[in-house]
Amino acid sequence: MYTEQLDQLSTGLAEMCGLAEDAMDQATEALLQADLPLARRVQSTRPVFDGLAAQCEEQAFALLALQAPVAGDLRQIVSGIQIVADLKRMGALAAHIAKVAERNHPEHALPEEVGGHVAEMGRIAVALADAAREVLVTHDPHRARGLQAEDDAMDDLDRHLLTVLMDREWRHGVGTAVDVTLLGRFYERFADHAVQVARRVVFLATGEMPDQIVDHELL
């Protein structure tokens, strides 16, 4: 029974991560295509995230209270509680992106010169979420450590977006600049949380605290 409960916790976390991955994929598509129904569909997933998060937290706290876990099991449960928070933020950030698409409909939120960069940020975000889901299932610390390179690529793209916005040739107004700035932030933070999940997996698998586990206060 105890082992089954731990497995259920892991399964729930992986399911949440998969939902975040799908939400980000759909949010990016809604943004690039000015797809209003898809944008609203992404935002409608928030109650599903909240329900899964509550379920995972209840399982984790029940295991702490009733089973008195030690060593590896204790690391898994405590890390699971922390991972729930990361995954909830990933879902929320995908919803924020969809909200930008909805707010600008029927117009496209993105000028042509930044569309390709944002599409690439979306691709990286989805890939990171997929990798995070994989390591939540496998608890493979080597694979988990490998996510950092993709996160670095996301940071480079975010910096490039800011360079475009600061260029004297920018001609799309302040409102669009604000939207693009926020979108870059949302993608960058989504990636941060996916990497954070992977770092917590390293800790639960090895007992070693990765150097860069830092809790971010996000939009």
Tokens 């997933």: give the residue. 45
- The answer to whether residue 13 scores a pLDDT higher than 80 is yes
Between the CA of residue 92 and those of 6, 14, 46, 191, what are the distances in Å? 26, 17, 7, 13
Contact predicate 9/59, CB 8 Å: yes
Q: Indicate the burial class of 71 (C-beta count within 10 angstroms; 0-12, 13-18, 19 or more).
A: exposed
- The answer to whether residue 209 scores a pLDDT higher than 80 is no
Tokens 């954070």: give the residue. 196
Handedness of CA 136, 139, 141, 146 (dihedral sign): negative
**Residue-wise pLDDT tens digits, 102-142:** 999 999 999 988 999 999 999 999 999 999 999 999 999 99
Q: Which residues contact 162 (CB under 8 A, 6 or more apart)?
A: 181, 184
Q: Which of 130, 102, 140 is nearest to 190 (CA)?
A: 130
Task: Write out the DSSP string of 38-81.
Answer: HHHHHHTTHHHHHHHHHHHHHHHHHHHHHH---HHHHHHHHHHH
Tell me what the pLDDT averaged over the chain comes to.
89
Q: What is the pTM of this model?
A: 0.91
**Residue-wise pLDDT tens digits, 148-175:** 888 899 999 999 999 998 888 888 899 9
